[in-house]
Every structure is written in structure tokens, then in C-alpha cells.
């Protein structure tokens, strides 16, 4: 919605395609944007990096913007943008630690990829600075898509004593974690965007 609002303000055309985290699904979508002669193509997922690195040199007249962990020098028509995952983890767990009455903070991740491990690194620092001695337990679902696995990883953290869950994956599987928190009445914090609509009583 924000992209459409911005397009209205600027008087430009914006086309958004979601649910294409998998690079094999993203490539045909990006090629459709190229064929449609869009002036700028934004690939908002680190999983799209190999596809964008393949396409950018082939279409040097089109600027590509890529959300990625990589600091490698991009192609001349490609820019990489990101935010500090370390700071994201720090702030979420600084707050989450103070919400925990049991002194046990659970962190549910998607997989041990750089952005997720960096969020968790920041999380441990933020939690400790907020509540010295707090126990931080982490678990990864090992999946970016399966919501059931997201539920199971949240359940495992609660079974170990966590009474607040920080969802650090930011992917489709995260929806399962939020659903579990909502059903169990457990405070849950997430990344990427305002997720109160997903779990209004928990987030």
C-alpha cells in the first residue's frame, strides 16, 4: 500500500509482485518487469541477489535496486541497500527482555543465514543490556515458507520457559510463529514491518 501511495504522490506507475521469495519464481517476474520497460526494478529480498546479478549485466540500461546482505561492488546499473540487522535485533530484544516476567526470552528464526544470525547477535546484546542475566534461547525453523514449522519453533521455545517470543526470521514461516503467539496469549515481537494485523493481541 505504501508503494501505491507514493506512486500516487509522484504521479508514477508502480507494479508490485509479492510471494516470490524463491529465486526461481522471482526470475520470470523480474523478466516481466524488464519486458514491460519499467524504468527501475527493485528486488526486495536477499534471495533475489543471484538472479539480479545475472540480469543486471544483460540489461545495462535498467537500474536495479537490490535488498541484500552482500557488500560486494555491484554492477554499474545496480545498487544494494539494506539496514542494520544488528540494530534491529538489539532494539527488539531490549524491549522483549523487559516484557519477560520469567526472565527467559525466546528468539524464533527462519534459518542460520547471515541476516538472521546478525539479528540474533544484536538480540543477545540488547537483551543483556536491558535485563542483565536474562536467558536468551534461540531456535531456527530451517524453513522460509512452512508456517507449521514456524509454529513448532515457537512452541519449542515456550516449552523451554520463554514467556516472550521475538520472531527474527521475517519470512512466510513467521506467520506460524505469530499465530501461535496469538493463540497462546504470548507477547511476540517481529521484524520488517508493523505486524499487529497478523496477531493484534500479541504483537
pLDDT of residue 81: 85
Tens digit of pLDDT for each residue in 79-88? Answer: 988 878 899 9
How far apart, in whole angstroms, are the C-alpha atoms of residue 129 and residue 124? 9
pTM beyond cutoff 0.85:
no
Q: Is the pLDDT of residue 74 over 80?
A: no
Q: Which residue stretches of 40-113 are H helix?
A: 49-58, 85-99
pLDDT of residue 127: 98
What is the C-alpha end-to-end distance of the chain, expressed in Å?
Answer: 20
- Phi and psi torsions of 130, nearest 5°: -75, -45
Tens digit of pLDDT for each residue in 43-70? Answer: 988 788 889 999 999 999 999 999 876 6
How far apart, in whole angstroms, are the C-alpha atoms of residue 188 and residue 87? 18
Tens digit of pLDDT for each residue in 124-174? Answer: 999 999 999 999 999 999 988 899 999 999 999 999 999 999 999 888 888
Amino acid at each position: 500500500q505504501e508503494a501505491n501511495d507514493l506512486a500516487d504522490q509522484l504521479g508514477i506507475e508502480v507494479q508490485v509482485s509479492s510471494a516470490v521469495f524463491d529465486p526461481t519464481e522471482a526470475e520470470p517476474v523480474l523478466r516481466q518487469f524488464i519486458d514491460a520497460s519499467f524504468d527501475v526494478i527493485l528486488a526486495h529480498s536477499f534471495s533475489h541477489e543471484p538472479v539480479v546479478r545475472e540480469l543486471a549485466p544483460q540489461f545495462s540500461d535498467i537500474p536495479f535496486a537490490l535488498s541484500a546482505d552482500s557488500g560486494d561492488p555491484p554492477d554499474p546499473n545496480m545498487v544494494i541497500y539494506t539496514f542494520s540487522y544488528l540494530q534491529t535485533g538489539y532494539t527488539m530484544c531490549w524491549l522483549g527482555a523487559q516484557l519477560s516476567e520469567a526472565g527467559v526470552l525466546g528468539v524464533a528464526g527462519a534459518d542460520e543465514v547471515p541476516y538472521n544470525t546478525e539479528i540474533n547477535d544484536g538480540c543477545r546484546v540488547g537483551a543483556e543490556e536491558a535485563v542483565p542475566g536474562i536467558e536468551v534461547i534461540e531456535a531456527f525453523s530451517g524453513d522460509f515458507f512452512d508456517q507449521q514449522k514456524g509454529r513448532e519453533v515457537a512452541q519449542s521455545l515456550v516449552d523451554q520457559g520463554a514467556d516472550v517470543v521475538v520472531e527474527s526470521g521475517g519470512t512466510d514461516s513467521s506467520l506460524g510463529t505469530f499465530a501461535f503467539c496469538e493463540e497462546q496469549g504470548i507477547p511476540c515481537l517481529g521484524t520488517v514491518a508493523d505486524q499487529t494485523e497478523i496477531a493484534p493481541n500479541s504483537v
